[in-house]
Structure 1
């Protein structure tokens, strides 16, 4: 048993959560994509992550056979690790292009995980490290991790594409609009904008 003093001081206390940020600027998303251009696995992981509401644990459950024949607007059906529920995710052109690019790089069996590392299937901590390193490489300020991908998807659905909060509540399976706004790091910005309205 590890002594209390020897535990990782950065690890959150039981019951608490680490808040990570979405990538809020489209130019930063483009910069990361450009940086990952010659790394098909990382580009696909990033692109799928910011174009769906899947958690990292669910992205890592995708097998080659689940996606090899999909076209834009086709659905990926996946059983969520956290909830046990079956999810149907519609994939857009960017997601399909990234998947095709990755599948072309090596021979996959249908049961092979889509995202593999040197020691087999990637882990969530590996995804966490990758996302942190990508954001650091383009000098993004803030706290980033594996959940950043999912949050980036939701943030831009609301801010860039104008998707309604009730729709996003359904997408993220949240109990209230406030929970969705706080999760996507939008609430403080929208509240701040109220004070900037001049009479």
Structure 2
């Protein structure tokens, strides 16, 4: 069995190097079965999922009110449970609105189970600043028609969070957290 690396975006968020910015966005879908919409993508529960309803490609649109820096997108899938509903090819697009989206990344997935990290860079290999991200499911495993995505998290880097005192260890208690920076 191949060595499989597991990712957990929640650990990165807790460590303070990134923040989840999906909550600041307006989410929309190209289609969904009743009761299996955006709320299922954002409920932090791996047992629920968005299920599309219609022809490929299936789209998840994420629109921000202001230009937002995006460093990573995480998609949670489970091939063992979803089989032909699991995406096999995803296109990530970016722009200011629906009419000027440019493809920035294409990801091929082979029976993914767990968090799939997708690093996001612009055409000059710099961190992306955008008003809109679109995740397009181009194809599914076993030529499936509809898709399941269980969770999506959008990460933005946290700048200026390098605390020199953390070299001496993490400040875990509320009382000690006041000493994480020197003012």
By the TM > 0.5 criterion, same fold?
A: no
Q: TM-score, normalised by structure 2?
A: 0.27
Q: TM-score, normalised by structure 1?
A: 0.26
Greater strand content: 2
Greater helix content: 1
Highest relative contact order (Cα 8 Å, sep 6+), 1 or 2?
2
